[in-house]
Amino acid sequence: MKVSAEADTCQSGNFGGWKSWGNYKLVIDREGAFGSFVPDRSANKKEYNWGIHLNVLKLLESEPCSNCLTLSNIHKLPDGDISVDISITHPYPNHLEFTGFDVRGIIMFPASQLFPDNDLRQAAGYDPWIPWFVRIANHEKGDAELMNPDGWTTIWGEWEDPNSEPYAAFHKLTEGDFPILKYYPGKYATGENLSMISAFKRYYSDETRYMFEPGKTVTRTYIIRPPSTGPIQASYAIYAHWAPATVSPVTNPELDFPPEANAPMPYEFWITQDEVLDPDMPMIERASHIHFHIKTWHIKYDKYWLVGACDIAFVNNVGGGIWPHPSREPDDYWQWPWFPEPYVYIPGYLPGLCTYLYRCEVYHPDNQGPPRLGSDYYIVKFEID
């Protein structure tokens, strides 16, 4: 089975720029029998959103691309999860000047995991924290959830407060003066209680600079755990980073685009542990068992990265710089400290898996203080004894 949809919007930015190739509403039967994409044209644009959104619906409904987004190979896995292949075709074939970089397919489910989690706070003996900051999709709360994400992002998230992350402390993205962006005012993908930190998959046709080449189609498999009731419903957005080429005409995208064409954020970011964490270990030993794998294109750790860490109950909120891990493995970093609270205070909770939220912020090379360029997230469950 194959379903398709036309892309709907475009977005731009100032450090290079994020651009949306489309916003969609996604519905998949919980048994894997059918799926559909519908371009999202009904939602309200918000003035404080992450960037300026421009509508390319007319271009993509007529030419050069009328089926830039497709679903295929939808089936139910033995564990009940749904596997679906989502393919993106570059909407500007034969135009090397519009090569995309660091493209992401972002999926936003209705979300009921609140951060901070006041149920956990109270179970550990802490007062509730009001107000909560963000919503995150969590299958343990009955939400649909992407089980094989490449990472999490706030881009296109439904942030209620214009003074909150990601708006207040980060560079506003502004419209560029480029022909690719000169279309119509775009639409902001909204929904009922959508996740504000959302999972994504990366799309590239060439690993060199994670380029998405014009005319190419890239497919990624999404493993989705259905919600506790009803079909899988979500909003879906496709993003690319881009900056104008330094030469014209473009003949070799790898060399003809400046460093800013790539996103400033990591193109690889994940966190692992190398053994079960013991709360009674010395703090520095606990920290040494947590590994940050981070790769960026051109903004390096020693001056421009800040990693914040927090348990899902927001009892401990720490952060700062990171350093090469004592293992000396390439792209392997660590951070001190790490705290087992509040989980050690919840009766019967340990041993178990404990949720932590990490945020990797990147500073502008010309400004090591706020505002920052943006942030990527990683949600990890540490095994604690």
**pLDDT at residue number 368:** 63
How much of the chain, in percent, has pLDDT values that exceed 90?
38
State the average pLDDT over residues 337-364.
89
DSSP structural state of residue 367: B
Please determine, for residue 129, whether its predicted confidence score (pLDDT) is greater than 70: yes
**pLDDT at residue number 9:** 35
Total-model pTM: 0.82
Please determine, for residue 311, whether its predicted confidence score (pLDDT) is greater than 70: yes
Burial label, 179 (beta-carbon count in 10 A; 0-12, 13-18, 19+): exposed
Q: Rounded to whole angstroms, how far apart are CA atoms 236 and 37?
A: 9
Please determine, for residue 381, whether its predicted confidence score (pLDDT) is greater than 90: yes
Q: Rounded to whole angstroms, how far apart are CA atoms 85 and 11?
A: 25
Alpha helix ranges (H) inside 31-89: 57-62
Q: Rounded to whole angstroms, how far apart are CA atoms 195 and 157?
A: 7
Is the omega angle on the peptide bond into residue 131 within 30 degrees of 0, that is, cis?
yes
**pLDDT at residue number 148:** 98
pLDDT tens sequence across 8-33: 333 333 344 555 666 667 777 777 66
Q: What is the mean pLDDT of the chain?
A: 77
Sole residue written with tokens 């190419």: 216
Categorize the per-residue pLDDT at 50 as very low, low, confident or very high, splitting at 50, 70 and 90.
very low
Sole residue written with tokens 């003074």: 163
Instruction: Look at 63 and 110; give whichever has higher pLDDT.
Output: 110
Categorize the per-residue pLDDT at 151 as very low, low, confident or very high, splitting at 50, 70 and 90.
very high
- Check: CB of residue 7 under 8 Å from CB of residue 63: no
Chain centroid, CA 357 distance in Å = 13
Q: Rounded to whole angstroms, how far apart are CA atoms 227 and 211?
A: 34
Assign 350 to helix, strand or coil: coil
Domains of the chain, earliest start first: 2-109+144-261 (no CATH), 268-384 (2.60.40)
Please determine, for residue 147, whether its predicted confidence score (pLDDT) is greater than 90: yes
